[in-house]
């Protein structure tokens, strides 16, 4: 009788590639956070400031929602055309970031918002000067503002979905929850499409309204009986409105106005949760962690 000889095969444990990927991702996130915190510590320790633009006075140079990274600057080094940040003693808690339009004989600065109709009433002296923006990041201020809602909402979703033992169910609920948190933050702060009315000039049966876009995306602004204007973030436009209500009021509508490439990008971003859900469904062992 022939005897079959089966060679001895040594089986070695293979590393869990999924766990390694997750650990690598969290390691990268931790490294980025540490780097950002160290950079912020250095900036703040050297007298710098981080501010968010909340009014449209600087127009397209620093639209609403921009994040300003200010560095200390000496009054003597400031030139006409520079943008500076200053504070007024009798207005605590308020800072102004405007452009220098003139330097006075006593070396104080005359400043003005780019879209403002008048210069600022305070000559800026050295004790008022806080710094000058070394970096202006449009839109980043919205993210910083929404960060508490995004973080707390995400932690709440993770906590509420923890008891689900099925990985696909847990990941799907987390994905839907995160999309809901993001949507709520967008609804709460309205960073994408928004509008401010700067001035109204009324005449017989019509109004000339000056408006500025304060959202991130381009908008088409229209009023009853007038031609529409297309505005990008921080851009100023004029509406001629001829159809007024009986009490003299009027309505202005701002609608998203993107080129076809912009719509493609928005559609691709909106499709990300769907693609993640599809990937999780194709790989039941995977998990949104």
**What is the per-residue pLDDT across 16-63, written as a single tens digit (0 to 9) for each?**
665 677 677 778 878 887 887 777 777 777 677 899 999 999 999 999
pLDDT digits (tens, 9 = 90+) for 195-225: 999 998 888 778 889 999 999 999 999 888 7
Q: Is 142 helix (H, G, I), strand (E, B) or coil?
A: helix
Does 115 reside within a domain?
yes
Instruction: Name the strands in the sheet holding 229-231, side by side, starting at the edge strand that comes first in the sequence.
Output: 229-231, 219-222, 253-256
CA-nearest of 66, 211, 59, 61 to 138 is 66
Name the average pLDDT for the chain.
86
Does 217 reside within a domain?
yes
Does 24 reside within a domain?
no
Per the structure, the count of domains in the chain is 3
Domain coverage including residue 114:
49-137
Is there a single domain that holds both residue 132 and residue 152?
no
110 Cα distance to chain centroid: 30
CB atoms near residue 282 (< 10 Å): 8
CA–CA separation, 95 and 89 (whole Å): 10
Residue 285: pLDDT over 70: no
Is there a single domain that holds both residue 121 and residue 213?
no
Is there a single domain that holds both residue 53 and residue 150?
no
CA–CA separation, 231 and 212 (whole Å): 8
CA–CA separation, 246 and 64 (whole Å): 34
> Is 95 in contact with 132 (CB distance < 8 Å)?
no
Does 39 reside within a domain?
no
Does 233 reside within a domain?
yes
Is there a single domain that holds both residue 150 and residue 278?
yes
Is there a single domain that holds both residue 95 and residue 211?
no
Task: Give the bridge partners for 132, in sequence order.
Answer: 71
Residue 65: pLDDT over 90: yes
Is there a single domain that holds both residue 171 and residue 272?
yes
Is there a single domain that holds both residue 120 and residue 68?
yes
> Is 234 in contact with 56 (CB distance < 8 Å)?
yes
Give the end of a domain, one of 111, 137, 163: 137
pLDDT at 284: 57
> Is 136 in contact with 61 (CB distance < 8 Å)?
yes
CA–CA separation, 275 and 35 (whole Å): 31
Is there a single domain that holds both residue 186 and residue 175?
yes
- Beta-sheet pairing, 206-213 with 95-103: unpaired
pLDDT at 287: 58
pLDDT digits (tens, 9 = 90+) for 225-283: 778 999 999 999 999 888 777 777 788 889 999 999 999 999 999 888 888 877 777 66
Q: What is the CA radius of gyration of the chain?
A: 27
Which pair of structure tokens corresponds to residue 54? 């909340």
Does 156 reside within a domain?
yes
Q: Percentages helix, strand, coil for the chain, rounded to the nearest 5?
A: 35, 25, 40
Does 236 reside within a domain?
yes
CA–CA separation, 241 and 251 (whole Å): 9
pLDDT at 16: 62
Residue 67, domain CATH = 2.10.109.10
Q: Is 235 helix (H, G, I), strand (E, B) or coil?
A: coil
Is there a single domain that holds both residue 63 and residue 133?
yes
CA–CA separation, 253 and 213 (whole Å): 12
Does 44 reside within a domain?
no
| DSSP state at residue 229 | E
Is there a single domain that holds both residue 62 and residue 121?
yes
CA–CA separation, 30 and 35 (whole Å): 9
Phi and psi angles of residue 55, each rounded to the nearest 5 degrees, phi first: -125, 160
End-to-end CA distance of the chain: 57
Is there a single domain that holds both residue 127 and residue 231?
no
Is there a single domain that holds both residue 184 and residue 271?
yes
């Amino acid at each position: 009788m022939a005897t079959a000889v089966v060679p001895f095969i040594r089986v070695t444990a293979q590393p869990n590639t999924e766990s390694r990927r997750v650990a690598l991702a969290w390691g990268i996130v931790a490294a980025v956070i540490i780097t950002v915190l160290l950079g912020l510590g250095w900036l703040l320790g050297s007298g710098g400031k981080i501010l968010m633009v909340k009014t449209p006075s600087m127009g397209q140079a620093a639209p609403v929602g921009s994040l300003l990274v200010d560095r200390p600057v000496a009054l003597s080094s400031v030139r006409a055309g520079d943008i500076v940040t200053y504070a007024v003693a009798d207005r605590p808690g308020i800072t102004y970031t405007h452009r220098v339009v003139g330097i006075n004989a006593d070396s104080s600065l005359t400043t003005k918002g780019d879209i403002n109709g008048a210069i600022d009433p305070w000559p800026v002296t050295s004790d008022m000067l806080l710094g000058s923006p070394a970096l202006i990041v449009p839109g980043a201020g919205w993210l910083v503002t929404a960060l508490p809602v995004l973080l707390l909402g995400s932690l709440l979703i993770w906590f509420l979905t923890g008891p689900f033992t099925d990985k696909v169910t847990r990941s799907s609920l987390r994905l839907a929850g995160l999309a809901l948190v993001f949507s709520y933050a967008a609804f709460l702060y309205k960073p994408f499409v928004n509008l401010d009315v700067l001035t109204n000039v009324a005449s017989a049966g019509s109004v000339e309204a000056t408006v500025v876009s304060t959202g991130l995306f381009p908008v088409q602004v229209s009023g009853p009986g007038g031609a529409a204007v297309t505005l990008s973030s921080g851009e100023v436009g004029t509406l001629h409105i001829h159809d007024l209500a009986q009490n003299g009021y009027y309505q202005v509508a701002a609608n998203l106005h993107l080129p076809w490439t912009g719509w493609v990008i928005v559609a691709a971003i909106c499709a990300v949760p769907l693609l993640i859900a599809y990937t999780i469904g194709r790989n039941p062992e995977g998990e949104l962690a």
